[in-house]
Structure 1
Amino acid sequence: MEYDELIRGFGNFGNYQRRLYIVLFLPIIFNSFSSPVTNFLLGHQQHRCRIPGLDNDTYKIQSENHQQLINLTIPRKLDGDYEECMVVSNGSLETCNDWVYDTSMFQSTVNSQFNLVCDKKLMRSHAVMAYFIGTVVSTIVFVPLGDIVGRRYMVCVSTTLTFIANIAMPFSINIYMFSVCRFFDGFCGNCLYMASFIIGMEFVGPKNRILAGTCILLVYCLGEFILLLLGFLIRDWKWLQFTLAVPMAIPLLYWWPKVLPESPRWLVSRKRYKEALKILRNVAKANHVEFNKDLSGVKIRNDEGILKILKELLKSRKLMFRSTIMLSNWFVISFIYYGLTLNMGKLAGNLFINFAIGVTVEAMGYSLCFLMNKTGRKPMHLVVMFGSGFGCLLSILPALFFDSSLTWLLVAFAMVGKFGISAAFGEIYIYTGELFPTVVRSFVLGFCGVGARLGATISPYIYHFADGTFGEALPLIIFGGSTIIVAVMSIKLPETRGRKLLESVKDAQHEDALKIDKYDNDNVCSEDTSGWSETSPL
């Protein structure tokens, strides 16, 4: 008997699974803070050089009481704004090393505390990148480690280390300590999310995996709304980070096995039948079903080794071509999603309004995944990718007119891009899993996942191009162009709705013969996809 057939007998999503998902929602919510919080921790503050000889100098005092002194001391740029890095001192123009900051939006940020401006401006992106380097490393490390020590143990260890990294962050004494904390936040938080997600998926039957996975994405959006509320109420970065970190101690209760059980699937794969049997009996009791089976006959597919997997993949030119297309998709989707999410504050308009609109649009995009069984995989993928690409490209219009009254249009086009790319993030995992046979599926998904993390890692740097001729529109143009390119590449992909999952490389050469007349939800990713279970930007 296959494990999926066994778990289906308990009810695909019964009382036990619902209670388990409530427990697992906490790590998802906390993980949702990690990447977009940089909009608030590293939020942009207007700044000018401190005026030499002016006592108790602040940005507010300069603006309200010393306008004439500012005009004499701070030179202006070509666009009429005051220089941020130059000051007139002793009759000569000099580069300053002390600044005053506007506190109307944020009382304090990492930028203002460590003076990450002018020649240190790039350090902001380095600090953001540290988080994503952590996620890249954890993505590579997690797959083998999670299979060795177990899902529950990974959740517990990651929970503890995530709490330590986040609670230490407000006490950073320099940007380097802050970046190290961000690295461990990315590393441990990503492991926490993946392990939590895998436990949830391994307790759910194949029929409900799209539903369960999409619900997790929506919970992620709920966490972003909580972050927005706290970011609006707390404008000091240290207190905001501390407030976000303290509740992360709650999942430390997961060390108690009654709160979070181990995955029976993993226990069976390790031949720990007695422990798995105890957990499955609890599932049966909660779901009001009978369970009297011997687990020794349950089959779990084991990974066959990296060399054998690569050999199987390299056998097929079709699969290699398909792998290239999907790797490009994952890279670009992650690149654009994080590029838009991490830089809400750099779009025209109010940060908090833009962030709220962005999260709402993101939730709407994820909700499209519920329609995958009706629309098919390929049509949805092409529509959301082309839609996102053209939405971003259209941002060139308000830039060409150079009319400040059209800045709302720039935000609107960015939100169209965010909607499409969020939907793509929700559906790409399922589509990728169905495009590849069982023998290479986990490897390809892991490979694409690393590509996605690399895309996320370079995304913080893209808004350094926002100072050019097209200003804020240029990053969106880059996003749109790259999305259109991979969308055109994806036209070559086949539809997978209504097709049985591929088992071998040989099946991939004759996949049209695997079509079935009536679409069966139980067929969707019903194979072992536990080797890689990341379906979102978390």
Structure 2
Amino acid sequence: MKFENILEEINGFGPFQIVLLILLWTPRIVLPCHFLLNIFIAAEPPHHCDISTLDYEGLFDNLTKEQRLAVSIPARRDGSLKSCEMFAEPQFQLTDNTSNSAYLPTVPCQSGWVYDNSTFTSTLATEWDLVCERKSLTKTTGTIFFFGVMLGAIAFGYLCDKYGRKSTLLASYLMTIIFGFSSAFANSYILFAVLRFLTGFGLTGISINSAVLTIEWVDTGHRSLIGVMGSLAWSVGNMLLAGFAFLVTDWRSLIMTVTAPLGFAVMTWWWIPESARWLLANGKVKSAQFYLDRCATFNKRPKLSSKIKLDALSNIETQENQDKSYTYLDLFKTPKMRLLSLKTGIVWFGVALTYYGISLNISGFGLNMYLTHFIYAAIEVPAKLTIYCFLNIIGRRKCQAGTLLLTGICIAINIFLPKSLWHVRSIVAILGKGLSEASFTTVFLYTTELYPTVIRQNGMGYVSFISRLGVSIAPLILLLEDVWILLPQIIICCVAIISGLVSLLLKETMKARLPETIDDIEKPRKKDVCPHTVEASGVILESKSSTAETEDQNKK
């Protein structure tokens, strides 16, 4: 007796599942708004040294504003004022615009900075003067946030299995709302960084539970469809972020704006069902019966006629859970598993770093940041739909390697293209972003098919941790543009190409029999191709179809 058989009786893909997906779309839309929020709240607007307090005994009285700036602040070759320097003494000879200021003595800004507020009313940079020698602190907030996401994945992964999906989901909602809104009122950089860390920690619970709940209530045949529909919430939220940031130019208001939808999620939480699979696995048959009957009623199917099936299934599930004793250490105990873990770790690190390296560097091509972000988000939709078609045509390995290598090539092309060819750079950048999203979509499906069933969750947890490590490093790599403006792009390009080449060393899994035990990896059978469902002696042996249903859970 399988849980899938019960779902078939009550309709495993009906109005109940659609409503559940819709209700969980709201919190999943919030995820990219927070994950990529640093692009806008940490933006550094044009600025120059504040000279309003300088007077030099009335010598400025007869000068215009432009002349005061010209004699006080050195200019770049393009005529714009330097951001972090001012002349040690006023250079009045520069008022005629013919003198050379290249070799005149300068000092750091003495009285703060003046910011251009035409694009942003306020950002972290303008709030706490995180510019010049403190410039790195704006990118550091992104790294701190993703460290919270990384630790939250470990914590909520455990809590969700121990205390259930529904109760943990509510805790995640409340934690994100409390710390999200609190961060908007932070009065110091340190307090803000701590609150963003805790916000990231809470958001991970939403990503884990929302994805798991939608998948555990749908039948096997529709998991891929639900996975794609659910992952599209990320793309929609990503596009909405560009609109929110364009309309709300104050960083505090923007944080509250992208956090507010969780209020609706809290109000609709009471309708969200607990996972019947989890309830049965933990011996809570009555509660499972309640939610299954509720699903049957909503889908206009008859309620389950007997509890005998549930009791038997509960005993099987509980016994299976008791027999499992695998840990993360099993990923490295045997030679081929160790090699598999190493390869998949490199691929996941490359996929995550490439995706976020491109996403967080939307100004790197000199385009309008709002439009660029929107286009970057919109291209994810056709990218996701297209890659699902190719996965079943050319296979997982070629898709994984191809998307990563082509992403690296797109980045390399833009390194050499001059900024004057902005239209060509835009097309190449958008194509690279779409390919990076396609590689992220592929890696979820591919990895679940590579790891054996008995240790698949541990394997996904391991690569998820590695990917978040790559995400945390991405903002720091972008800081290297101060060393050499092309260095971040070169690093991201190399990582994409290396991880793409490593993925070629993995075996193809399209139409292959999924590994069930570690022995299937260490001692593979000669014939491993079989249909997903095989009927023998009246027993249905179902292989677990691998999908990208947990994409938002691990990304973002």
Pairwise CA distance, 1:317: 1.8
Residues 133-186 of structure 1 show CA distances to partners (whole Å, capped at 9, x for unaligned) of 101101111221111111001110100111111211221111112212211111
**What SS is found at the alignment partner of 2:516?**
coil
Q: Structure 1 pair 86/523, CA: closer, same or farther in 2 (3 Å)? A: farther
**What SS is found at the alignment partner of 2:107?**
strand
Q: Percent identity?
A: 27
Paired AA for residue 402 in structure 2: V
The match for 1:260 is: 272
Residues 276-303 of structure 1 show CA distances to partners (whole Å, capped at 9, x for unaligned) of 0110011112223332243111133427
The match for 1:367 is: 385
| Residues paired across the two proteins, number | 519
Pairwise CA distance, 1:523: 5.9
Distance 2:488 2:15 in 1: 46
Paired AA for residue 111 in structure 1: A
The match for 1:59 is: none
The match for 1:45 is: 45
Tell me the TM-score normalised to structure 2 length: 0.87
The match for 1:3 is: 3
Pairwise CA distance, 1:408: 3.5
Aligned pairs for 1:70-149 within 5 A: 70-77=69-76, 81-90=80-89, 93-96=106-109, 97-149=111-163
Paired AA for residue 201 in structure 1: I
Alignment of 1:507 onto 2:520: yes
8 A Cα contact 1:348 1:410, kept in partner: no
The match for 2:404 is: 385
Paired AA for residue 401 in structure 2: L
Pairwise CA distance, 1:370: 2.9
Tell me the TM-score normalised to structure 1 length: 0.90
Distance 1:416 1:289 in 2: 46
Q: Structure 1 pair 230/357, CA: closer, same or farther in 2 (3 Å)? A: same
Alignment of 1:246 onto 2:260: yes
Paired AA for residue 239 in structure 1: S
Distance 2:400 2:548 in 1: 20
Alignment of 1:483 onto 2:483: no
From 441, 453, 457, the equivalent of 1:426 is 441
Pairwise CA distance, 1:78: 6.0
**What SS is found at the alignment partner of 1:48?**
strand
Residues 426-445 of structure 1 show CA distances to partners (whole Å, capped at 9, x for unaligned) of 12111101111112111111
**Higher alpha-carbon deviation: 422-431 or 270-279:** 422-431
Distance 2:377 2:47 in 1: 29
Distance 1:32 1:18 in 2: 22
Distance 2:544 2:467 in 1: 20
Alignment of 1:455 onto 2:454: no
The match for 1:60 is: none
8 A Cα contact 1:214 1:426, kept in partner: no
Paired AA for residue 392 in structure 2: N
8 A Cα contact 1:43 1:345, kept in partner: no
**What SS is found at the alignment partner of 1:100?**
strand
From 315, 335, 343, the equivalent of 1:325 is 343
Pairwise CA distance, 1:518: 7.9
Aligned pairs for 1:25-424 within 5 A: 25-53=25-53, 66-77=65-76, 81-90=80-89, 93-96=106-109, 97-256=111-270, 259-290=271-302, 291-293=304-306, 294=308, 295-298=310-313, 299-300=316-317, 301-302=320-321, 308-309=326-327, 312-314=330-332, 316-371=334-389, 372-398=391-417, 403-424=418-439
Q: Structure 1 pair 525/237, CA: closer, same or farther in 2 (3 Å)? A: same
Q: Structure 1 pair 86/474, CA: closer, same or farther in 2 (3 Å)? A: same
Pairwise CA distance, 1:237: 1.5
Q: Structure 1, unaligned stretches of length 5 or more? A: 56-63
Paired AA for residue 155 in structure 1: L
Distance 2:244 2:322 in 1: 44
8 A Cα contact 1:382 1:487, kept in partner: yes
Q: Structure 1 pair 512/84, CA: closer, same or farther in 2 (3 Å)? A: farther
8 A Cα contact 2:231 2:551, kept in partner: no
Distance 2:148 2:329 in 1: 30
Distance 1:319 1:89 in 2: 63
Distance 1:518 1:191 in 2: 32
Paired AA for residue 153 in structure 2: T
Distance 2:180 2:329 in 1: 42
**What SS is found at the alignment partner of 1:497?**
coil
**What SS is found at the alignment partner of 1:94?**
strand
8 A Cα contact 1:35 1:342, kept in partner: no
Pairwise CA distance, 1:90: 4.5
The match for 1:61 is: none
Paired AA for residue 16 in structure 2: Y
Distance 1:341 1:527 in 2: 27
The structure whose Rg is larger is 2
The match for 1:58 is: none
8 A Cα contact 2:464 2:554, kept in partner: no
Paired AA for residue 420 in structure 1: L
Q: Structure 1 pair 420/103, CA: closer, same or farther in 2 (3 Å)? A: same
**What SS is found at the alignment partner of 1:357?**
helix
Distance 1:447 1:428 in 2: 13
Residues 105-134 of structure 1 show CA distances to partners (whole Å, capped at 9, x for unaligned) of 112111111110011111111111111010
Pairwise CA distance, 1:511: 4.4
Residues 163-212 of structure 1 show CA distances to partners (whole Å, capped at 9, x for unaligned) of 11121122111111221221111110111111111111110122222211
Pairwise CA distance, 1:349: 1.3
Distance 2:385 2:547 in 1: 25
The match for 2:14 is: 14
Pairwise CA distance, 1:488: 1.0
Residues 336-362 of structure 1 show CA distances to partners (whole Å, capped at 9, x for unaligned) of 111111221343111111111101122
**What SS is found at the alignment partner of 2:114?**
strand
CA RMSD between the two structures: 2.6
Paired AA for residue 458 in structure 1: I
8 A Cα contact 1:392 1:480, kept in partner: yes
Q: Structure 2, unaligned stretches of length 5 or more? A: 56-62, 91-104, 535-540
Pairwise CA distance, 1:241: 1.9
Paired AA for residue 396 in structure 1: I
